[in-house]
Amino acid sequence: MEQTWRWFGPDEVIQLNHIRQTGATGIVTALHHIPYGVVWSVEEIQKRKRMIEADASLGLRWSVVESLPIHESIKIGEGDLAPLFDNYRQSLRNLAECGIKTVCYNFMPVLDWTRTDLAAPVPGGGRALRFNAHEHAAFDCFMLERPGAEDEYAPELLARARAWFDRATEADKRTLLANIMAGLPGAFDRYDIPGLRRMLDRYKGMTREALRERLARFLREVIPTAEEVGIRMCVHPDDPPRPMFGLPRIVSNEDDLAFLVGAVESEANGITFCTGSLGAGRTNDVPALAKRFASKIAFVHLRNVAKEEDGSFQEAEHLGGDVDMVSVVTTLLEEQKRRRDAGDPRWRLPFRPDHGHELLDDVGKATHPGYPAIGRLRGLAEIRGVMTAVAAIKGLPV
């Protein structure tokens, strides 16, 4: 599998020469400075590509776009969407012209990944991302004050949420809001409480079925263009895979993935297989999902989570937690062999180590939450070891 690394661009603390030291050669990045819905021009794409390839001795290439964002109006289905679809299609054409053929995106309404604690302690002094169910409920019910929210939580969890809110200082509340907003690491917009309420109001009455139809329409609009120019689109699962703040989530489980790949039958309509996002779902059998949808996987995020009974979870070590990483990696390597044997010139799957712990010198550095250097380096090294061992035992191509 192609070892890749997410890079947020030239202003990030972790630079390209650091990435090469991890062993990764593929860069996963996006043009975060361009507002949602605006065309990514060939000039802007080439500018980023030249940055990545400037030092030929590093041997780096722009392997995956993560993400080419979908404008919120498309998800809501409001207004004249034709210009937004036209712009998205043109961005795909421009990326293909520049030789970038794998595009990750998500269809999560309003918010991307959501955590309530960005510095949960791990043994030895490191820090991890964490989702505390009672803090999420406290934010939803008592800070956001979403109508009807209290009816959606179990009484015991709601009581813990109320207790947290009653003892929370104003600084605690500001930190919780900031932590939830941090899940938009490359987003163009951020929300305060009034802004988030206004955004949620735009989705008022949105059902799961209606949001699914918005996704299906998006796929019908853009997949033919992706197919035409040789791009593989790959949706990222919801994180966490559950309704958030009254909004439906529709890329959360086996049924959702089956709906997605069936909405438009095409090699260009694929999946970003994220073991952590899917792993946070209590009923998701992640190794089984990898087997069922192996042929539709175009990009892979490998990370792990440890779940708790109340719905809380924490980012675990890459080979720890609840997901059987060895089983998943074995399935991916077997799928690679199938593709190679079938003559697919793009048979090697790009993967990246997702969300790492802050360890050693990373603690306190101004990296994006979940994206420190050392924690991800550890994860990449562990996964590389699993890949090498499985490939050697089973005679599979790495």
Longest dimension (CA), the chain: 62
The residue from 71, 134, 136, 355 that is catalytic is 355
Catalytic residue among 301, 318, 357, 362: 301
354 is catalytic: yes
Q: What CA–CA distance (Å, rounded) separates 267 from 261?
A: 9
Catalytic residue among 104, 141, 234, 274: 274
User: Vertex 136, ends 245 and 181: CA angle to 5°?
Assistant: 75
Could you say which of 112, 239, 354, 362 is catalytic?
Answer: 354
Question: 272 near 104, Cβ under 8 Å?
Answer: yes
Query: Which amino acid would we find at residue 376?
Result: R
Q: Which of 73, 50, 74 is closest to 62 using CA atoms?
A: 50
Q: Do the beta carbons of residue 268 and residue 223 sit within 8 Å?
A: yes
Per the annotation, the verdict on 18 as an active-site residue is no
Helix axes 82-97, 208-229, angle to 10 degrees: 40
Contact, 375 vs 126, CB < 8 A?
Answer: yes
In this structure, are residues 27 and 5 in contact, taking their beta carbons and an 8 Å threshold?
yes
As a whole number of angstroms, the distance between CA 360 and CA 338 comes to: 40
| Structure-token pair, residue 326 | 């060895």
Annotated active-site residue 371? The verdict is: yes
What residues contact residue 138 under an 8 Å CB cut-off, 6+ apart? 161, 162, 164, 165, 168, 176
* Tokens (6 digits) for 117: 């604690």
| Catalytic status, residue 301 | yes
Q: Which of 382, 4, 355 is nearest to 182 (CA)?
A: 355
362 is catalytic: no
**Annotated catalytic residue: which of 134, 136, 236, 357?**
236
- Look up 355 and say whether it is catalytic: yes
From the list 11, 68, 28, 100, the residue with the least C-alpha distance to 380 is: 28
- Helix H segments across the chain? 16-21, 42-53, 72-76, 82-97, 133-138, 155-167, 170-181, 193-202, 208-229, 254-263, 275-279, 286-292, 325-341, 373-394
Active site residues: 236, 274, 301, 354-355, 371
